[in-house]
Amino acid sequence: MTDPKSENATVRAMQKSNVSRYIQLASLFRQRIESGEWEVGTQIPTVKELADQCGVATMTIRQSLDSLESEGLIARYRAKGTFVLERPKRELWCEVQTDWSGLLIARDNATIALLGDERHVALPRYEGEMGKQAPGYRHLRRRHSRDGIAFLLAEVYVDERLCVHIPEQDYTRVTAMRLVADIPGQTITAANQIVTIGSADLETSGQLNISIGDPVAKVQRMAVNQHGDIILLANGIYRGDMMKIEVKLR
């Protein structure tokens, strides 16, 4: 039985968020299944009971359950109720590397689709104060997938002056950092990575096949050469349900 204090906390938390109520509730109910609070094979509370618990309309509950049903997590039967079919699949195989050598290694069995390619553009706004901007950048939009499942959406900016040294096939084959790591006459003297946690917007949800508001990890990577020029800026968005970050302390 759900604790009334927990119910009140849930209502207050949802009121503070700008994310649609049914999306918040779908995430909450998904967590209940994943944690075992709603065990596989058992019947969950009725729509009216859930609506009373969460302080929302029954239509909102039905919308959230629609999401879980489309994922194959629950099944609804007329005159019987709603039952849990299985737990969400958590394949945390997409690891965000935190060391230099790891950033150069392409993920096994991954493919990179080129979604856009622009020339002579300026850098977008970025974190930190490393280096100075080059006169222009080649801007590539890329989507990384493995076994047909998209896990990373990336915006890559490469110093236009260096593109003549990069084989065209590399833009759909290697990691962003690898694009500039081995160019003759260039030495990467500074590089950083910033990771922040966010939620999927409309475009991201469509490209990565996730729901609006689902958790994502936003990763910015930057490389500066011996002249103090920013030769690479890469902004990536990873699916939160498939990635992990492991930091080696010793």
CA 45 to chain centre: 31
Cα–Cα nearest to 218, from 137, 126, 139, 93:
126
Q: What CA–CA distance (Å, rounded) separates 64 from 51?
A: 11
Evaluate if pTM is beyond 0.85: no
Amino acid residing at 145: S
In this predicted structure, the answer to whether residue 108 has a pLDDT above a threshold of 80 is no
Which residue ranges does the chain devote to CATH 1.10.10.10? 4-84
Which has the higher per-residue pLDDT, 210 or 65? 65
Which has the higher per-residue pLDDT, 159 or 23? 159
- The string of pLDDT tens digits covering residues 25-47 is 888 898 899 889 999 999 999 99
Max Cα-Cα span within the chain:
73
Q: What is the pLDDT of residue 47?
A: 95
Work out the pLDDT band at 91, boundaries 50, 70, 90. Answer: low
Q: What is the pLDDT of residue 84?
A: 96
Mean pLDDT (whole number) for 4-26? 64
Which has the higher per-residue pLDDT, 142 or 3? 142
Work out the pLDDT band at 9, boundaries 50, 70, 90. Answer: low
Which CATH number does 94-245 carry? Answer: 3.40.1410.10
In this predicted structure, the answer to whether residue 90 has a pLDDT above a threshold of 80 is no
Mean pLDDT (whole number) for 2-19? 56
Which has the higher per-residue pLDDT, 250 or 175? 175
Q: What CA–CA distance (Å, rounded) separates 55 from 8?
A: 8
- The string of pLDDT tens digits covering residues 133-147 is 999 999 999 999 988
Which tokens sit at 68?
Answer: 């879980």
Work out the pLDDT band at 10, boundaries 50, 70, 90. Answer: low
Cα–Cα nearest to 198, from 158, 150, 225, 238:
238
Q: Which residues of 210-248 are buried (b: 16+ CB within 10 A; e: fewer)?
A: bbebbebbebbbbbbbeeebbbbbbbbbbbbbbbeeeee
Q: What is the pLDDT of residue 23?
A: 81
In this predicted structure, the answer to whether residue 6 has a pLDDT above a threshold of 70 is no
Which residue ranges does the chain devote to CATH 3.40.1410.10? 94-245
Which has the higher per-residue pLDDT, 2 or 141? 141
Q: Which residues of 116-126 are buried (b: 16+ CB within 10 A; e: fewer)?
A: eeeeeeeeeee
Mean pLDDT (whole number) for 180-205? 91
Which CATH number does 4-84 carry? Answer: 1.10.10.10
Which has the higher per-residue pLDDT, 203 or 102? 203
Least confident of 45-54, 90-99, 230-239: 90-99
Q: What is the mean pLDDT of the chain?
A: 86
DSSP 8-state symbol, 131: S
